[in-house]
Amino acid sequence: MIVSEPRKRLTREESKAQTRARLISFGRAHFLRHGLGGAVAEKIAEDAGYSRGALYSNFDGKEELFLAVIHDQKMHHHEAFESILDNTTSTARERLKRFRDAFTEVMTDRDWIILYSEFEAEALRNRRVRASFLKLHRQAILDGTRLVKELSKSPGITLRMKPEEFILAMLSFSLGMAINQKILGDGLSSRCARRLIESLFDKLISAR
């Protein structure tokens, strides 16, 4: 007879973190399906298996939950780029290619583009969301600039503009391209969008 070990009781902090993570996961699914305006906080909580009060004890409302979804995704992206730069055994050319591939993957990720374009659209209408958008956008530029500075330290890599200008140019072009690709569908294939993003990337930074 196999006797299962008693399940470890979660601490208050662990339980809260687990609840937040689950709400963020279900919130992401709802925002992708309904947008920020169409998503209902109570329905998100219900689908996640929690009460309305559980959501509001962790977030001020669906806007703050939406921001948590965006921030969570940005952190995953940042960690992926950090791991590429931390790989000191690869050559400059290999690191640059991996960085470019990761960047292109993010900028052609259908779900991420839907969420980010929803964030931009809401920022145009809602002053409170706009303040959060500006804060996150500025941080993204700062983080991206730091990553590119670190990348360009590798001997043999040539950057044809300032790191902050490179990040701003790539983000602006890639997000616009990705949103157009999402709207146009077959009129602008994913392969074509990837190729255009990679082409601009290669014109602005290269490795010998």
In terms of domains, do 54 and 71 share one? Answer: no
Q: According to the model, what pLDDT value does residue 7 have?
A: 60
Amino acid at 141: I
Show the domain range for 33: 11-59
Q: What is the pTM of this model?
A: 0.83
Helix H or strand E segment including 137 = helix 127-152
Please work out, in degrees rounded to the nearest 5, the angle formed at the alpha carbon of residue 142 by the alpha carbons of 72 and 161: 130
Across the chain, which has 208 residues, the per-10-residue mean pLDDT values are 60 87 96 92 95 92 93 91 84 90 89 88 88 90 92 90 93 84 75 89 92
Q: Is residue 165 part of a domain?
A: yes
Last residue of a domain, one of 20, 44, 59: 59
Count of domains observed in the chain: 2
Q: According to the model, what pLDDT value does residue 146 have?
A: 93
| CA atoms of 92 and 207, how far apart (whole Å) | 7
In terms of domains, do 53 and 81 share one? Answer: no
What CATH number has the domain bearing residue 122? 1.10.357.10
